[in-house]
Amino acid sequence: MLNIKNLHVKLEEEDKQILKGVNLEVGAGEVHAIMGPNGSGKSTLSYVLSGRDGYEVTEGAATLNGEDILDMEPEERAAAGLFLAFQYPVEIPGVGNMTFLRTALNAQRKARGEEEVSAADFLKLIREKAKSLKIDSEMLKRPVNMGFSGGEKKRNEILQMAVLEPKMCILDETDSGLDVDAMKLVSDGVNALRDAGRGFLVITHYQRLLNHIVPDVVHIMAEGRIVKTGGKELALEVEENGYADILAELEGAA
């Protein structure tokens, strides 16, 4: 599904290399987790994959279902099935949450040559999805993320994901700022979307989330590289010992 090969990325404005050869492959139906120290490049990876400005790919490639995504516009990547749940969801005053989501859904459908969803059908769809995430209709009417608490913003990201039904979902610290109940809601939302045709890349600092969303593979990222890959037990190891051992191991090998 998602195939990242030797990806090198620097900042466009500065001479600063952030990703230094990332290799990663997420198959359909799989859930991969990425953990790693602050500043190791996890969000950068998610932004580069979704097409944010300000980065320059100096080497390597990334494909989604065989298609090179790095040359696509962000909206084309979305239509191709890529979704990023932002670490910091953006507040957009004046744009209603519902309007935004319906515009997005229909734009994606149009780009794929599918029929647009009628206002009535959309309302049904979003009500149903919102209900399962305990997002009330008042929140749907408000401008995108405006006045939402940290946890509400994260739930709103998952709502968007549930409505857009992307193929490849990247979740950047969706668990941060969530209370225990919200964590459960969000995890249930993610798990409900798990199926054989969909891949997940879950960026997190905490093993706790991975108890709910059980990963098939766990990667550790450090200094712009995937430095270790293992099963879900790797997350437990990090939780207990931190990154020191893993990084030391790396130093030793170098």
Partner 1 sequence: MALPQVKQDATDARLAGLRLPDGAGWATSAREAALARVQAMGLPGRRDEYWKWTRPDGLNAAEAATAKVFPNDEQPIFSEIDRVRLVFVDGVFDAKQSDDPKMAGVEIERLEQATRADIHWAKDVYGILEERAQDPVARPLAALNTAYASDGVMIRATRKAKCPVSLIYLHKSDNSDAMLHHCIKVEEGASLTVLENGPAAARFNKVMEVEVADGAAFHHIRAQGRDHERQAVTHTFARLGRESVFKSFTMTANGVMTRNECVVELTGDDATAHVAGAALGDGDFHHDDTVFITHNAVNCESRQVFKKVLRNGATGVFQGKILVQPEAQKTDGYQISQALLLDDDSEFYAKPELEIYADDVQCSHGSTSGAIDDDALFYLRSRGVPESQAQDLLVLAFLAEAIQEIENPAIAEDIRVRLEAWLERRRKG
Ligand X SMILES: Nc1ncnc2c1ncn2[C@@H]1O[C@H](COP(=O)(O)OP(=O)(O)OP(=O)(O)O)[C@@H](O)[C@H]1O
Residue 176: CB atoms within 10 Å: 16
Least spacing, CB of residue 15 vs ligand X, in Å: 11
With CB under 5 to 8 Å by kind, the binding choice for 228 among ligand X, Mg ion, partner 1, none is none
Least spacing, CB of residue 203 vs Mg ion, in Å: 7
Find out whether 212 and 43 touch, Cβ atoms under 8 Å: no
With CB under 5 to 8 Å by kind, the binding choice for 49 among partner 1, Mg ion, ligand X, none is none
Q: Judged by CB under 8 A, does residue 115 bind partner 1? A: no
Find out whether 62 and 223 touch, Cβ atoms under 8 Å: no
Whichever of 78 and 220 has its CB closer to partner 1, that residue is 78
What's the distance, CA 9 to chain centroid?
Answer: 18
With CB under 5 to 8 Å by kind, the binding choice for 86 among ligand X, Mg ion, partner 1, none is partner 1
Among candidates 219, 223, 254, which has minimal Cα distance to 16?
223
Binders in 40-79 for ligand X, by CB under 6 A: 40-44, 54
Query: Total number of residues binding ligand X (CB under 6 A)?
Result: 12
DSSP 116-176: PPPHHHHHHHHHHHHHHTT--HHHHHSEETTT--HHHHHHHHHHHHHHH--SEEEEESTTT
Among 15, 38, 73, 120, binds ligand X (CB under 6 A): 38
Whichever of 77 and 154 has its CB closer to partner 1, that residue is 77
Among 13, 38, 94, 251, binds partner 1 (CB under 8 A): 94
The token duo for 42 is 């996890």
Least spacing, CB of residue 172 vs ligand X, in Å: 7
With CB under 5 to 8 Å by kind, the binding choice for 94 among ligand X, partner 1, Mg ion, none is partner 1
Find out whether 49 and 62 touch, Cβ atoms under 8 Å: yes
With CB under 5 to 8 Å by kind, the binding choice for 192 among partner 1, ligand X, Mg ion, none is none
Least spacing, CB of residue 203 vs ligand X, in Å: 7
Least spacing, CB of residue 27 vs ligand X, in Å: 23
Angle between helical axes of 97-111 and 150-164 (0-180°, round to 10): 30
In angstroms, the CA 113 to CA 216 distance is 33
In angstroms, the CA 224 to CA 42 distance is 8
Among 21, 29, 74, 177, binds partner 1 (CB under 8 A): 74
The token duo for 128 is 């149903």
Find out whether 2 and 24 touch, Cβ atoms under 8 Å: yes
Whichever of 162 and 238 has its CB closer to partner 1, that residue is 162
Whichever of 25 and 223 has its CB closer to ligand X, that residue is 223
- Binding residues for partner 1 (CB under 8 A): 50-53, 73-75, 77-79, 83-84, 86, 89-95, 99-101, 103-105, 107-108, 111, 143-144, 160, 164
